[in-house]
Structure formats: C-alpha cells, structure tokens
A and B are shown apart, each in its own frame.
With several copies, the nearest count.
Chain A
Amino acid sequence: MSSIFQSLDDALSAIIDGCMVVVPREVSGVPMAATRALIKRGVKRLHLVALPTSSLQADLLIGAGCIETLETSAVSLGEFGPAPRFSAAILSGTIKMKDATCPALHTALQAAEKGVPFMPLRGLIGSDILKHRSDWKVIDSPFGNDDPIVLLPAIKPDVALIHAAMADRFGNVWIGRQRELATMAHASNKTIATVERIYDGNLLDDPVLAAGTLPGFYVDSVAVAERGAWPLGLPDYYSADADHLAEYAKMAATPEGFAQYLDKYVYDKRAA
C-alpha cells in the first residue's frame, strides 16, 4: 500500500476551483497552513461551508478572492472584533452569502451522513434566515399536532478539509472530542487532513485512542503540517496566537493592509 502521506500541495489537489469545501469552526482545529497553501495556489470560486462558524479562515479566503459562496452562521474574529474582509465583501456584494444558524448546518451534514435527502430541525420559523433560504422547506409535522417544522436539505460537500493532532500511515486521524470532524468526513465525497505529526502504529489498535479516531477509510490524503492551525489553536495541543490575531485584525481593516498581510504571511515574501 502506498503511503497516504503527501506534500501539502499534493494533498490539497482535490480542492479544485468551484468545489464545495466544508471546514470546522474556529476552535476545532482549523487547517490554516492548508488555507494559506490554497490562497497561494490561487483557488477560485469555492463554496465554503463553515461548520457552523468561522473566524480567520473564512476572512482570509474571502479577502484573497477565493470564495464565491459562503454558507455559515457567523464570521467573527471574536474578542479581536468583526471579520473585516467578510464585512467588506457582504457590503460590496462580492460574495454570495447563505446565512444559517449553527444547528441547521450540523443537521444538514448529518442528513448527508445518514444518506437521507433532508432532516428536520426545531426553531427557525419566524426568523428572516428562513425567509431568505428558498432551499429550506416547512411542513406540518405528521406527528403530534400538525405544528410546522423546517426541513433542511442535506449538504454533501466535495471535500472536507480538517486539521488534527495526528494520523497514522493507514490514514486514521485522531480527532478527539471534535466529533463534528467525523460527521464532515462522513458527509463529504473526499476528506483531506493535515496533522501535527505522524503516529507510529495503528490508532485503531489501541481501544482508548480508537474511540477518538476517524477511520482512514474516509480519508483520501494526509499532509503533515506542524502548528498547522496557527495562528488559531488546536484543542488539547496549543492555544491561539493572540498577538498575531490582533495584528491581523489591525492590518485587515483596510484592503491595503490586508494585501500586506498576505504578502507577509501567505505569499512568503517575508524576506522582501
């Protein structure tokens, strides 16, 4: 069996222009090294599904012109303020926004995980989110008192892109408590993982590690990317780099500052 490990660029080759990519929320291990590699390569017209929210990752991809459609419940830099490129893109109408609410995205991916065309969810009725989502339907529940309930169509991404602590040579990836990464992989056609390091052995052989492992069966390629979530944190591993995020918030406030940020931190022009 040839190794599942590839170079970062090779591992990302399935993410082609125009494809639908699902990524995890800002605290679940965001593949930031992979995100920078995609921007460097110049990927275009992505349909990004951020499950269920995003911070730096969506803002960077939007600012760099990689996103055509964004489907998420919120984009924010948290304590570092609003996400400036996201806000600018919405105000200027340069991306198509599909506003959602967090559990709606989880539910739509669970529908894909189960192979059903839709799943119901409570809430949403009377919200303007629903009003702007013609792809969501309301039916009267056939159980109970005919109360209305929303049905959400399954989201089946082309690629799930994740970052995690470790993977073994069988492609098994240890995801720990970030179980939404498993749902993302189950729902998606392909899964690409970056990891901090290689685990020497088979993660499924140890009952304790196996409990937190996404099986290699679902994983198409893996690349080692040390501190690959930087400047965001990786649960159970390292915290976010607050100084860097503050710097980003400041620089990305203007298009010029954002371009400088890309030059400095993405396009490897540090030495210039």
Chain B
Amino acid sequence: MCMTSAPPKVRDEELLADVISRLIGDVRHVAVGNASPIPATAALLARERNGNGRPYVSLLQSRKHNFFTDGARELFDCAGQGRIDVFFLSGGQIDGHGNINLVSIGDYDHPKVRFPGSFGSAHLYYVVPKVILFRTEHSRRTLVPQVDFISAPGANAGNVYRPGGPIALVTNRCLFSFAKGRFTLDSVHPGHTVEEVIEHTGFDFDMPGSLPATVPETALPSPATLKLLRETVAPQLAEVYPQFAAQVFGVKAFGDGEKALTV
C-alpha cells in the first residue's frame, strides 16, 4: 500500500493493542478475561490480520466471541489441557520477579487496601504458555520491588509442573519482555523515555546492551493495521465493550448482543 499523506493520528489504545497483537504471535487460541478491552482489541486484531479465523479468540465476557458450552469451568479445564496459548493478567502490584498481587496491600490479615481477589491467576499463570501482563498505570505504586501478596508467582523453583508463565509486561510507557525470572526493557512507546521508565518503575530490570540509548522506540501501528482496527475490529468490539468502542473508535454496537431464548 502506498501512503504519501500524513499518517493518521494513532491513539494510545491502538498502539498498545498493536504491541500486544504482535506478542500473541502464531498461536491457535487466545483467551481474554473480563474488563480487558485493550487485550480484547489485540486478540481480535491478531485474528483479523491472519484473515483465516485463527487464532480462536475467546472473550469471556461475550456470548458471541466465546465457544464455551460446558459452564464456567471450561475455560480453566481448557487451559489445563494446554488448549489456551495466550492469556492476559494484571495486578494491583506487579514485581520484578513477575509475581502478581490481586489481593491486598499490607499484612493479609489486616490489609490497608483490598483488591477484588486472585480470580483464576493462580492456575492460568502456570498452564498458559504465553501470559501477557498488562497494566496501563506504570508507576512505583503498581510496579514494585516485591508484591505484598503473591496471587501467582512469576516462576517456580524445583520440579513444579509449570508449562506456562509471563512472557511480557505491557504498560502505558513501555514494553518489557520476561525471561529467566527478570524483565528486560524491549521498547519505549513514542513520547516516553528510558529515564522516565526507570523513574517510575519500582523494580530492577535489564536493558539490551545495558545502555539506555540502545532501547528502541515502540513501532507505531502500520496504516493497514489502523484500518483493520478501526473498520473491522472496532465494530466487533462494540458488542462486548460498547463504552470503550464508542470512546476510542467512535463505533456503536447494534443491540445488546444477547440472543433471546425463544422456547
């Protein structure tokens, strides 16, 4: 495609969805939990980019983009079978070992702050090969040296069965990859700097060549990607995340997506 005019303005959500969709890679099945509009956008983008209906995308909040028929258990069974390749997790706190905290701050028995709870993290983090951590608030409050409560650990010692775990952490400022128990700063998003990332990150991390100057800038979504996002992905997203789709893409859902029982 030949683009000579100025590239269209890229929204932060579009950049993050593009980054995540590239992390997803060539897999069979991506599942996205509740209240995760940007990962959902990324998963649908990954599928539309391939154009062959693959990967399967399961948006757990959606009836339409979700094939499960065996009750609330099926997602976890499916992951246990090794049939979910990519999942997304977040945390009230995330530390440099990849541990995530979805429970509380302070002493567990007398906490200062309580989060909703661990959801399925203490299982999915172990059995899904590619878990992408996602947190838009990149601060020393969220990215800490050591979480107060480990909902799910980034790694396990010994012979604990663990085919899965974190592969990356995507924030509003940058992209970290994760390997061997540590994060590496892979790229910094346009408009942000390595110094800023260091300043706002509570844990130690590695850098390619260990020099700030060698950290690349996160690539912008291509015009073709933006077109896909805005024209093909956004209308599908609107069914599940109407507010998000309206706000980011100016797209409205048709109906409420609930197919009525006709018996």
Q: Are B116 and A74 in contact (CB under 8 A)?
A: yes
Stretch at the interface among A41-49, A116-124, A222-230, A248-256: A116-124
A113, B104: Cβ atoms under 8 Å? Answer: no
Q: Is the CB of B67 within 8 A of A177?
A: no
Q: With A and B bound together, what is the CA distance between A79 and B102 in angstroms?
A: 16
> Are A124 and B63 within 8 A (Cβ)?
no
Closest A residue to B154 by CB, please name it.
Answer: A126
Determine whether the beta carbon of A236 is less than 8 Å from that of B69: no
Q: Is A126 a contact of B153 with CB atoms below 8 Å?
A: yes
Given A104-B122, A127-B151; A208-B261 close (CB under 8 Å): yes
B-side contacts of A135, CB under 8 Å: none
* A79 adjacent to B118 (CB under 8 Å): no
- Determine if A122 and B243 form an interchain contact, defined as CB atoms under 8 angstroms apart: no
A147 and B73 in contact, given A82-B116, A217-B56, A237-B260 (Cβ under 8 angstroms): no
Residue among B35, B69, B160, B263 making CB contact with A214, cutoff 8 Å: B69
Alpha-carbon distance A129/B260, docked complex (angstroms) = 39
Is the C-beta of B76 less than 8 angstroms from some C-beta in chain A? yes
In whole Å, how far is B34's beta carbon from the nearest beta carbon of chain A?
A: 6
Q: Is the CB of B114 within 8 A of A237?
A: no
Q: With an 8 A cutoff between CB atoms, is A259 at the interface? A: no
Within 8 A of A (CB), among B103-154: 103-104, 108, 110-112, 114-127, 149-153
Q: Let me know if A128 and B73 touch, CB within 8 A.
A: no
Q: Are A53 and B69 in contact (CB under 8 A)?
A: no
Asked whether, in the complex, the Cβ of A113 is within 8 Å of the Cβ of B81, the reply is yes
B80 at the A interface (CB under 8 A): yes
The residues of A that contact B125 with a CB separation of less than 8 Å are 123
CB contacts (< 8 Å) of B156 on chain A: these are 125-126
| Interface members, chain A 109-158 (any B CB < 8 Å) | 110, 112-116, 121-130, 132, 145-149
Query: Is A101 located at the chain interface by the 8 A CB criterion?
Result: yes
Contact B117 A75 (CB under 8 A): yes
The answer, yes or no, to whether B195 is at the interface (CB within 8 Å) is no
- A217–B72 touching, CB < 8 Å: no
The answer to whether A87 and B114 touch across the interface, beta carbons within 8 angstroms, is yes
B159 at the binding interface (Cβ < 8 Å): yes
> How many residues of chain B are within 8 Å of chain A by beta carbon?
64
Q: Which A-chain residue is minimally distant from B29 (CB atoms)? A: A217
Contacts known (A52-B120, A126-B150, A166-B263); A210 close to B69, Cβ less than 8 A: yes
**Could you tell me if B69 and A106 are in contact, using CB atoms closer than 8 angstroms?**
no
Task: Decide: A74 near B81, CB < 8 A? Known: A52-B120, A101-B122, A102-B123.
Answer: no
A213 touching B35 in the complex, CB below 8 Å, given contacts A75-B116, A102-B76: no
**Closest residue to B71 on the A side, CB-wise?**
A179
Q: A179-195 vs B: 1/0 string, CB under 8 Å?
A: 11111001100000000
Contact of B72 among A106, A132, A209, A211 (CB under 8 A): A106
Assess whether A122 is in contact with B123, with CB atoms less than 8 Å apart. Answer: yes
Does B117 lie within 8 Å of A124, measured CB to CB? no
Q: Judge if A271 is at the interface, Cβ distance under 8 Å.
A: no
Q: How far is the CB of B149 from chain A (nearest CB, A)?
A: 5
In the assembled complex, the CB of B180 is this many whole angstroms from the nearest CB of chain A, namely 16
**Bound: A121/B63 CA distance, A:** 27
Min CB–CB distance B255 → chain A (angstroms): 10
Question: B9 — which chain A residues lie within 8 A by C-beta?
Answer: none
Contact, CB under 8 Å: A116 / B261: no
Interface pairs (8), CB distance under 8 Å: A52-B72, A73-B117, A122-B123, A125-B156, A127-B118, A128-B103, A183-B73, A210-B69
